[in-house]
Amino acid sequence: MTKGVPISVVGSVNSDYSVFMKRLPRPGETVLALDSARFAGGKGFNQAVAATRAGGDVMFRFSVGDDEDGSFLTGFLEGESMKSVPLLDENLKTSRAYILVDESGENQISVIPGANYSPKLKGFDFDDGPGFLVLQLEIGNENNLSVAKKAHQAGWTTVLTPAPWSQFDSELLEFVDVLTLNETEAIQIAGHSDFMVSGQVISEKVQTVFVTRGASGVAIFQDSKLVGQVDAMSVVSIDATGAGDTFCGYVVTGLAQGLSPMEAAQLGTIAAGISVQTRGAANSIPQRSQVDLILSGLR
């Protein structure tokens, strides 16, 4: 198995402070927790780890502050085989995410972006393609637009996960070739209440659109049409944090290795199904050998 064309993830890193409880609190309510832990996370971080564990040739570019959380995150990356370029911004603190997780794996997340918004992230350039750039919305619109324009000019394929939705800027779609997003995000972007119509509308502007639907699997759209669907794994979910990022990282590596969108989506769906059975984000992402073992049993 070849690593495929290069993948550059320019994105966020967070120290994830997770709290586990039977159910999520309602507004104004206090709920006693069962346990808590700190994990390495951030959408960019998770996607870079996923793409690497999927077998991709990954370069991860990110920014941290001069603090203990930054040391924790860069230390985690030392155990991964990807290449990384950490930028130190002494004027900002490393990003933190505070995550509440219930016993079914559902979560509520609040993020303090800190160094993820560092203007230093604009400084990256790209060799002429082919290659894949992976972006999310946790590093600020200005950073994303700057990086996406450079990648577009170099002939790279840009993949975007438009989360958190509150930071979405439609101008970015002009430089995006592939979208991986969940059903809610698709509906929000398209302005339609039906995910099927939403996927069709978005694929008028973006070459390939993967809409993840949790236990209902993944729908793939191209040229205003539904071109395929992949069923989700039947598993008991413990913590869904990072599942969408796991899917994205595996899909990008699959595409970089020459797989079709359907084949890449199948890889991503299996990887995400494995990830939700373990607490945490990056630490729950499976190795490619685990995914291939399950995939071989489906053929």
Greatest pairwise CA separation for the chain in angstroms: 53
Question: Higher pLDDT residue, 82 or 152?
Answer: 152
Using the predicted structure, report yes or no on whether residue 101 has a pLDDT greater than 70.
yes
Single out the catalytic residue among 57, 231, 245, 292. Answer: 245
CA pair distance 34, 15, nearest whole angstrom: 20
Instruction: Identify the bridge partners of residue 229 per DSSP, sorted by sequence position.
Output: 219
Name all domains of the chain by residue range, CATH numbers in brackets. 7-298 (3.40.1190.20)
pLDDT tens digits for range 86-96: 899 999 999 99
In 3D, which of 103, 23, 12, 5 has the Cα closest to residue 65? 12
pLDDT tens digits for range 177-192: 999 999 999 999 998 8
Q: pTM of this prediction?
A: 0.91
Using the predicted structure, report yes or no on whether residue 281 has a pLDDT greater than 80.
no
Using the predicted structure, report yes or no on whether residue 226 has a pLDDT greater than 70.
yes
pLDDT value, residue 299? 63
Mean pLDDT to the nearest integer, 264-273 = 95
Q: Is 69 a catalytic residue?
A: no
pLDDT value, residue 279? 84
User: Which residues, at least 6 apart from 140, have a Cβ–Cβ distance to it below 8 Å?
Assistant: 113, 116, 117, 167
CA pair distance 143, 121, nearest whole angstrom: 6
